Amino acid sequence: MVWPAECCVQIVKGKKVIVRVDFNVPLDDNGNITDDTRIRGALPTLKKVLADGGSLIIMSHMGKPKGKVNPKFSLGQIVDAVSEKLGVKVQFAPDCAKAQDAAAALKPGEVLLLENLRFYPEEEGKPVGIDKEDPKYDEAKKEMKARQKDFAKTLASYADIYINDAFGTAHRKHASTAVIADNFDADHKMLGYLMEKEVQAVDNVLSNIKHPFTAIMGGSKVSTKIGIIENLLGKVDNLILCGGMTYTFAKAQGGHIGKSICEDDKLDVALDVIKKAKENGVNLVLGTDCIAGDDFKNDCNTQICPANAIPEGWEGLDAGPETRKAFAKVIEDAKTILWNGPAGVFEMDNFAGGSKAIAEAIAKATANGAFSLIGGGDSVACINKFGMADKVSYISTGGGALLEAIEGKVLPGIAAIKGE
């Protein structure tokens, strides 16, 4: 069920509510949060539970610790930040699977944050230490799935009500995002406010597309985006492919890319995308020039060169000036815009110009009435880095989840609540 705001007080008052959020926030080397978008996104749901007299238990993952305890990914690092945002002192349970006593002792208005769920392999439900090709893998997987159910049952035992507000992991059938829902009846499990907003934003793009529809897909790998790229070829008028993917496409067409990132086993896939774009009448826009560097660092030597004629020993690290102009022209004419993935290594200031040009063009189009949806951690970080979050229509907290939703896939985290 969707959280019915008008009767929420009766639902949570005096009850313990466990909320799955996505607090997988980026941290610097000192454990300080560099982008708190995901925490801010979850606040309406968390504050509603507290305002209506509930006890709040928050659970999340952080990073990819692969089923092992790793201090680098401890949620203990963000306790103070969450306390500050909520305006309530947050207690911390250092072991998410052994928090029964801490949860039981919670009083209305109090908050408990569980340690990183992925410190337990049962959260993701994947066998650890055994290769998929191993004859015993299927048996190990079956055993892990049974353990995953038990892990989910333990988490569920802490609370009376379960709310999923983690759109960023809604595409995963994990213990805390989907399996846990089996332990609650329909009246005691629901989607949070952020999840509802995310689903609505996707609906806005898919059910009310205004043309021209332009999608911008960035990032380093074609392989991680091929599903959404192929799906978008049947929907968009313009498809901009940028970032590290540029060089796989350049090499596939016979170009020289120096030591730029490239998926040599995806050259045929790149050519197939070019072919399908033509067949679908889609304007495929690829980078023609780039800012190349002689090392992967901010203060390396740079030069502007064609994206398909990069000298040996150099690598493309950002979109070049002609590419930026071409991207901007297409984006500024759009009425619906989807952006996922940067145009370069935006974390380094000297290679952030391409991504900034995209952000500025999207802001201009939005000001002229376009609907712009920004999704994926890197794109969100880009928009925030350039101080342009208020210049776009909607910023999604989901990367993979957003793309799978747009592909039309059923998201396990949502299906588990709606009983689909």
- Residue 284 is part of a domain; what is its CATH number? 3.40.50.1260
Domain that holds residue 98: 5-198
pLDDT surpassing 80 at residue 105: yes
* Position 9 pLDDT exceeds 60: no
The verdict on residue 204 lying in a domain is no
- Answer yes or no: is pLDDT of 400 > 90: no
Q: Do 321 and 184 reside in the same domain of the chain? A: no
- Here the tokens at position 336 are 């619906």
Tell me, yes or no, whether 227 and 291 share the same domain. yes
The domain boundary, picked from 179, 198, 217, lies at 198
Whether residue 325 is contained in a domain is answered as: yes
Q: Residue 16 falls within a domain, yes or no?
A: yes
Retrieve residue 171's tokens: 């595409």
pTM of the complete model: 0.79
User: 262 and 179, same structural domain?
Assistant: no
Residue 269 falls inside a structural domain: yes
Tell me: pLDDT of 7 over 80. Answer: no
pLDDT at position 402? 84
What are the residues whose beta carbons fall under 8 Å from the beta carbon of 137, sequence distance 6 or more? 127, 130, 131
pLDDT, mean of residues 311-332: 98
Whether 213 maps to a domain, the answer reads yes
Split into its structural domains, the chain has a count of 2
Residues 263 and 173 grouped into a single domain: no
With a cut of 50, say whether residue 6 has pLDDT above it: no
pLDDT tens digit string along 262-298?
999 999 999 999 999 999 999 999 999 999 999 999 9
Cα(330)–Cα(295) distance, rounded to whole angstroms? 31
pLDDT value for 377? 61
Token output for 341: 């993935």
Residue that terminates a domain, selected from 137, 167, 198: 198
Three-state DSSP at 410 gives coil
pLDDT in tens, 155-169: 999 999 999 999 989
What per-residue confidence (pLDDT) applies to 420?
Answer: 66
Residues 343 and 394 in one domain: yes
Classify residue 319: in a domain, yes or no.
Answer: yes
Neighbouring CB atoms inside 10 A of 297's CB total: 12
3-state helix, strand, coil in the chain (%, to 5): 45, 15, 40
Average pLDDT, the chain: 92
Predicted local confidence at residue 404, as pLDDT: 83
**Same domain as 190, residue 278:** no
> Both 138 and 229 in a single domain?
no
Q: What is the pLDDT of residues 362-396, one digit of tens each?
A: 999 999 999 999 987 688 888 888 999 999 998 88
Asked if residue 420 is part of any domain, the answer here is: no
**Of 198, 228, 243, at which residue does a domain stop?**
198
The answer to whether the beta carbons of residues 129 and 160 sit under 8 Å apart is no
Q: Is the per-residue pLDDT at 247 higher than 90? A: yes
- Would you say residue 304 has pLDDT above 90? yes
Residue 243 pLDDT more than 70? yes
pLDDT band at residue 224 under the 50/70/90 scheme: confident
Q: What pLDDT is attached to residue 375?
A: 85
Task: Give the pair of three-digit tokens for residue 167.
Answer: 């759109």
| Alpha-carbon torsion (136, 138, 142, 145), positive or negative | positive
Distances (CA, A) of 251 to 84, 221, 244, 268, 309: 49, 14, 12, 10, 10
Query: Are 193 and 219 members of one domain?
Result: no
Tell whether the torsion through CA atoms of 311, 316, 320 and 324 is positive or negative. Answer: positive
Comparing 404 with 355, the larger pLDDT belongs to: 355
Same domain, 166 and 294: no
Say whether both 30 and 169 belong to one domain. yes
Same domain, 60 and 185: yes
- Catalytic machinery residues: 38, 221, 377, 400
Residue 416 domain flag:
no
- For residues 176 and 227, membership in a common domain is answered with no
DSSP E strands, 288-341: 289-293, 302-306, 309-310, 315-319, 336-340
Q: Which among 140, 17, 158 has a CA at the least distance from the CA of 67?
A: 140
Which strands form 302-306's sheet, in the order they lie side by side? 302-306, 289-293, 315-319
pLDDT band for position 192 (50/70/90)?
A: very high
d(CA 175, CA 192): 18
- Mean pLDDT throughout 289-311? 97
d(CA 232, CA 327): 17
pLDDT tier at 82, thresholds 50, 70, 90: very high
Mean pLDDT of 112-134: 94
Per-residue pLDDT, averaged over 188-193, amounts to 94
Percent of the chain with pLDDT over 70: 97
From 59-68, 109-118, 226-235, 269-278, the region with the lowest mean pLDDT: 226-235
Angle at CA of residue 71, ends 65 and 122, nearest 5°: 35
For residues 61 and 169, give the distance between their C-alpha atoms in angstroms, rounded to a whole number: 9
> pLDDT at position 10, please?
60
